Amino acid sequence: MTSGLRIEKQEPEPLPEPFKVNCQTEVEVKHGVGLHARPSVTFTRLAKSFPCSIEIAVNGSDVWLNGKSIIKIMGARIRKGSILRIRADGILAEEAIRALKELIERNFDEEKKHGRTA
């Protein structure tokens, strides 16, 4: 028994190219103790604020870790002097890469929050 009503699934319109991008960058971790608990939380919170996928690789590794996972980031034991490759894919990927790189370069803003240098 059909009612004669036919529902067709419509494909969403593709996003304009400036919004959907794949990009990657490298940055050195200069924070005194690397990505311990607070910097890891700050990094993943910022990563989660973007709708794209974000992954990191440490010191030239071919293993890419979910940049939005606090467990993966802390588990990587990223130390001072480590080189992070950060890649993002999807909507606002360029903005995500830029914001995360700047956060690392600013030592996760810890000097401002805690009144000390890292």
Active site residue 114: no
Catalytic residue chosen out of the listed positions 36, 72, 98, 101? 36
Of 43, 61, 54, which Cα lies nearest the Cα of 107?
43
The dihedral built from the CA positions of residue 70, 76, 78 and 79, taken in this order, carries a sign that is positive
Residues acting as catalytic residues:
36
